[in-house]
Amino acid sequence: MIEMRDVSRTFVIRSRDGRRLRRSRTVVRAVDGISFTIGAGEFVGYLGPNGAGKSTTIKMLTGILAASAGSVRVAGLDPARQRTALARRIGVVFGQRTTLWWDLPLRDSLTLIRHLYRVDAAAHRARLAELTEVLDLGPFLGTPVRQLSLGQRMRGDLAAALLHDPPLLVLDEPTIGLDVISKATVRGFLERRNAEQGTTVVLTTHDLGDIERLCRRVMVIDHGRLAYDGGLDRLRATAGAQRVLVVDLARPGEPVDLPGVSVMRVEGPRQWLAIPQGSSAAAVIAELTGRYEVRDIALREPDIEDVITRLYRAGRGSREAVQ
């Protein structure tokens, strides 16, 4: 569905030195030699710190920007050259702005979009009815877009992006600013759309809840380069994040002493033990219960936020993680 080969995008920034009126010219490599393919039906998260190159990638995928070098193919098309043809095969949502008409009721905005995409009236009616139901648009179809809450507007934007039934949906921060209930609605909708209709979804987000809930595959971009491409589990292992055993001992006492295991914290009878990389939790638990009287035990998988923070900090050093 998507194929990026050695894609780069540079921007030239010209500025003037205030006092001497000298011009300077800086070249920013927003995207720097990225390659990946995304197959039909995948649900991919595209992550990266601010300024990493996410939006620039999305703009190249949707044809808003041309690549400076390399090749971009989306749904068999060259996005920058065949933007109109691509528009029929792709739905795009930018969380930070709306494609809807501010002063029109949502329903009228959606009707205008039907004309833009030349969807026939019967197909439009059927799709609008379906999207109204699954996104619960009914209560505010007649409300002008400017009066919608952020969560309502986002549901309206999702409907607008899907009215022409594209096989590919590209979302730039679709849950930004939404409350927990609206986030859950949007996530649930995207999950079903992908599972039931096979819609390919590419999503950029800073919200790691989106990633954990939705994305089987994660790509991390940093300084314009791919720092990681793979599943969440492997990402946890790659970033060296630790699994932790939280243990309640029968008697508060000295820190636990087990080979390779470091004690991270002690609070009365409770101790936090870091499981060494590559060791099995079962082996550590067996050793622990053999030597100490244990009341309770819990295994904590590394927090995904922690994993991503480590990866961002590692910066360019983590490039060997690319598949």
CB 11 to ligand ATP: min, Å: 3
Indicate whether 48 belongs to the interface with ligand ATP (CB under 6 A): yes
Indicate whether 52 belongs to the interface with ligand ATP (CB under 6 A): yes
Among 1, 4, 7, 30, binds ligand ATP (CB under 6 A): 30
CB 74 to ligand ATP: min, Å: 17
CB 6 to ligand ATP: min, Å: 18
Phi, then psi, of 235 in degrees rounded to 5 = -60, -45
What are residue 137's DSSP bridge partners?
none
* Sheet bearing 22-38, strands edge to edge: 22-38, 2-17, 69-74
Indicate whether 323 belongs to the interface with ligand ATP (CB under 6 A): no
Do residues 201 and 44 make contact, with C-beta atoms less than 8 angstroms apart? yes
Indicate whether 13 belongs to the interface with ligand ATP (CB under 6 A): yes
Indicate whether 56 belongs to the interface with ligand ATP (CB under 6 A): yes
Task: State the helix-helix crossing angle for 121-134 and 106-116, rounded to 10 degrees.
Answer: 140
Which lies closer to ligand ATP via its Cβ, residue 132 or residue 318? 318
Do residues 286 and 240 make contact, with C-beta atoms less than 8 angstroms apart? no
Region near ligand ATP per CB under 6 A, out of 16-24, 49-57, 84-92, 267-275:
49-57
CB 54 to ligand ATP: min, Å: 3
| Pattern 247-286, ligand ATP, x by CB under 6 A | ----------------------------------------
For residue 19, give both structure tokens.
Answer: 């006092």
Indicate whether 11 belongs to the interface with ligand ATP (CB under 6 A): yes
CB 173 to ligand ATP: min, Å: 8
CB 76 to ligand ATP: min, Å: 25
CB 29 to ligand ATP: min, Å: 8
Which lies closer to ligand ATP via its Cβ, residue 52 or residue 178? 52
Indicate whether 171 belongs to the interface with ligand ATP (CB under 6 A): no
**Geometric angle at alpha carbon 302, from 299 and 306, rounded to 5°:** 150
For residue 186, give both structure tokens.
Answer: 């949007």
Region near ligand ATP per CB under 6 A, out of 53-61, 84-92, 175-183, 283-291:
53-61
Indicate whether 95 belongs to the interface with ligand ATP (CB under 6 A): no
CB 30 to ligand ATP: min, Å: 3
Indicate whether 7 belongs to the interface with ligand ATP (CB under 6 A): no
CB 51 to ligand ATP: min, Å: 4
Which lies closer to ligand ATP via its Cβ, residue 201 or residue 249? 201
Indicate whether 98 belongs to the interface with ligand ATP (CB under 6 A): no
Among 54, 127, 187, 236, binds ligand ATP (CB under 6 A): 54
By CB under 6 A, name the binding residues for ligand ATP: 11, 13, 28, 30, 48, 50-56
